[in-house]
Structure 1
């Protein structure tokens, strides 16, 4: 049988990082942070044109710019974008080197009387914009700039008030920049969490749809196995319905004046019973094959077993004798009735397939229900060959089957266990001591399961 299943999608948190090569992103190209640094390096070097306008051509400024640009390139080559500690180290190195190079430019341009001295408060703010992920490194830069500005003013003999003013301005700008970077990180983190939550929700919805389709395909596969038996079962009542209609036609159209009303009533009763039998078979199959999204409810075990047995008899009628031992007083269980009926039908059909392969008379299938403490236990047993030792550990693996490709998809038992566990139950397989196979289902009593949920 063919399966319409597709592998369920991975949740976002299940996806692992791609392997990385040092210095190169996982895709084989430069990552976004390295690209930014490679663009930043020529930008730093090109600022030498401003140095020429501010203080004329000079080798000192060119050397400082070259050292600054080279530090950016070296940092880009050594940084590992897949390591958070490497990124923090890179940020600290860049902020420190940037601050030291700028301080050197201020000294070259004339210390506190130079044009670059006025831009001391701007450097921490610019670094906050370039590296909003790390406030500590930016704070270190602000401290270096504040101390350098105060030292230059003190060496120039400026009053203490001016030292405090410039130091306060740089500290304030650094604080504002660090606070803004912190708020930016919070907003970015909230957006990332929102995107992740949406992705998780969409993945879970896709997974739920995939599970419903998988369950539906297994239902259709089971019904496909029953098709020949269903045709035979429907053909019997249809045959005597046709015979009764022929009889009625002959009697009504005959020239005999006297027609036995008792015979006509009996024919009508038999015809009505045949029609009802066909309607019941079609109704059971239609209800069983429906895709549903019902919520678990308390359902009587005897009613669920009756639903499954009515369809299973179509498969087992010519294979084995089916015995049902379900006490009416069994407490209800919390489950989706159609899904639990599907599980029981899968187990009964599997038992029929095993007994049919054995190929001799005396085959029996039993479904037994008992209440053991606060749990309801259902056992589906047969007197067939049982499970081979090498098959038993893999019995509930997806796509594992011992049947031929025209009979098994390898989904029936795996799906049955999933459906049982969704209802808070368990499904285990074992061999009977007296021979044959046994599948044991346990469910908490309905009221107990509802209290636990």
Structure 2
């Protein structure tokens, strides 16, 4: 036994059309009451009108939207002829049903306000039919002219109202779409902000081991110095003020170092600025290295060659810092996981035409052939769950693209990974930076 799906619910316009057809046919009872007899002509016109609407509805389902639009014209014209025929059969212009003739353009305009041509056609057919009825009944020229002018005025007025209604609907639709678009953009911006903030905090978590190591060292000698000062002050012998002053100075230096680490972490975790500004690439790299050094110590040498006189870039500085920091930490993770001897991370900047380029390279194993095509996919990672979320590089590329730049990954010919950030320069007359600007080399001791 084959199963036949239940019929779908009829379209709203179809239900309206069926309702109109039922009204047209049922109204014949009123015609009979008015005439005091059955009239074949009236019934014939009503049946023709109803069949006309049924045919239009049937054909509209089987043709394209453009063809359905053209089908509405003969349907409207024939419907107006049927109304004129009913009025003729029931007494002509003097019939109370004649008021339906000037009402036809209004009905057409209300049913389809965008199709002004159909209401104009109904008005033209109605005007010609009205003139024929008036002349058929032998009315005077003045009355004929009055009825024709009335049809013309009604048609013009109806089309004007339909046009205004259509414009109002379009304006409301545009406003609704604009409101929806604005709400979507706001929701997207909020989602992007939360995603960036989440990845930022994950990055801080990956720095936690280095942070703990950096803080423990000064804490150890701060604690030792405090114990020494306490012992000296409680001893009965003579206290050397110079020695105590030197110890306290060391203690203050240690505390300042701890305070600076905490301030850098706190400032990075709370970077919420969203407005792009002109800034120096060298300053961005310096901010990122403050935190990256916590991870890269004991892992790799960091060699920096980012000239201070590179053209300025127009970016959200804090977000670009996040990108550079993420790339540096990734390099440190790779060098550590592969236990690369004499690990090295190079950070260099240069001008390439109207672009400023930042290269972050390492001497690790580089990207495997099967990894490189998927490197920027969301949630793709070759690390363990404690080393990343798989969103860092994906988010980094999105942030760089928001600044009008590109983030590209490749392998160095001599071995190792290379990540290139290209950003548009704010300087139109780009000049090669002075080669005399010194680079730098970092490797702190714990």
Query: TM-score, normalized by length of structure 1?
Result: 0.86
Shift of the 284–90 alpha-carbon distance from structure 1 to 2, 3 Å rule, reads farther
Alpha-carbon distance in 2 for matches of 1:39, 1:281: 77
Deviations 1:25-82 (A, max 9, x none): xxx5333323322332322223223212322333443343344334434544554599
- Which ranges of structure 1 fall in alignment gaps of 5 or more residues? 1-23
Does structure 1 residue 328 correspond to structure 2 residue 308?
Answer: yes
Partner of 1:175: 156
Partner-residue secondary structure (3-state), 1:379: strand
1:276 is aligned to 256
Asked if residue 431 in structure 1 is aligned to residue 411 in structure 2, the reply is: yes
Is the contact between residue 48 and residue 62 of structure 1 (CA under 8 Å) also seen in structure 2? yes
SS at the partner of 1:120?
A: helix
| CA displacement at 1:244 relative to structure 2 | 1.0
Alignment of 1:331-342 (within 5 A): 331-342=311-322
Is the 8 Å Cα contact of residues 44 and 69 (structure 1) preserved in structure 2? yes
1:116 and 1:144 map into 2 onto residues whose CA distance is: 17
Matches of residues 323-362 of structure 1 in structure 2 within 5 Å? 323-362=303-342
> Which residue does 1:6 correspond to in 2?
none
Deviates more, 1:119-128 or 1:235-244: 119-128
Q: Deviations over 1:399-432 (max 9, x none)?
A: 3322233333222112112222222322211111
Counterpart secondary structure, 2:350:
strand
Question: In 1, Cα distance between the equivalents of 2:281 and 2:112?
Answer: 64
Secondary structure of the residue aligned to 2:288 is helix
Q: Are the equivalent residues in 2 in contact too, given 1:33–1:81 (CA < 8 A)?
A: no
- Contact 2:354–2:424, Cα closer than 8 Å, also in 1: yes
Instruction: Provide the C-alpha distance between the structure 2 equivalents of 1:43 and 1:89, rounded to a whole number of angstroms.
Output: 25
TM-score where L is the length of structure 2? 0.87
Query: Given the superposition, is the C-alpha separation of residues 206 and 443 from structure 1 closer, same or farther in structure 2, using an over 3 Å criterion?
Result: same
Matched residue, 1:16:
none
Matched, 1:207 2:188: yes
Kept after mapping to 1: 8 A contact 2:362/2:416: yes
Verify: 1:187 aligned to 2:168, yes or no. Answer: yes
Give me the whole-angstrom Cα distance separating, in 1, the residues matched to 2:63 and 2:198. 42
Instruction: Give 2:203's aligned residue.
Output: 222
Deviates more, 1:343-352 or 1:147-156: 147-156
CA contact (8 A) 2:340 2:364 kept: no
The 2-side partners of 1:117 and 1:337 are apart by 76
Deviation at 1:273, TM superposition (A): 1.2
Q: Is 2:212 the counterpart of 1:231?
A: yes
1:115-154 matches, cutoff 5 A:
115-154=96-135
1:31 and 2:18 correspond:
no
Residue 180 (structure 1) shift = 0.8
Q: What RMSD in Å do the two structures reach over aligned CA positions? A: 2.4
Q: Distance in 1 between matches of 2:401 and 2:62?
A: 42
1:287 paired residue among 247, 267, 282: 267
Partner secondary structure for residue 236 of structure 1: helix
1:142 deviation in Å? 1.1
Tell me how far apart the structure 1 counterparts of residues 381 and 18 of structure 2 sit (CA, whole Å).
57
Secondary structure at 1:390 match in 2: coil
Q: Secondary structure at the match of 2:207?
A: helix
Map Cα deviations across residues 198-232 of structure 1 (whole Å, 9 max, x no partner).
Answer: 11111111111111111111101111111122112
User: 1:94 deviation in Å?
Assistant: 4.2
Structure 2 unmatched runs, 5+ = 1-6, 430-446
CA distance in 1, matches of 2:268, 2:63: 51
SS at match of 1:446: coil
Alignment partners' CA distance in 1, 2:354 and 2:167: 50
Structure 1 residues 402-411 or 279-288, which shifts more?
402-411
Distance apart, 1:252 and its partner CA: 0.9
**Given the alignment, which residue of 380, 384, 391 partners 1:411?**
391
- Report the CA distance shift for 1:404/1:67 in structure 2 as closer, same or farther (over 3 A): farther
Q: Residues of 2 paired with 1:115 and 1:384: CA distance?
A: 96
In structure 2, how many angstroms separate the alpha carbons of the residues matched to 1:333 and 1:117? 76
| Alpha-carbon contact 1:216-1:289 (below 8 Å) kept | yes
Q: How many residues are aligned here? A: 422
What is the match of residue 101 of structure 1?
A: 82
Assess, with a 3 A threshold, how the Cα gap between structure 1 residues 38 and 286 changes in structure 2: closer, same or farther: farther
CA distance in 2, matches of 1:345, 1:83: 57
Which residue of 2 is the match for residue 49 of structure 1?
29
Matched-pair contact (CA < 8 Å) for 1:218–1:412: yes
CA contact (8 A) 2:271 2:318 kept: no
Structure 1 match to 2:442: none
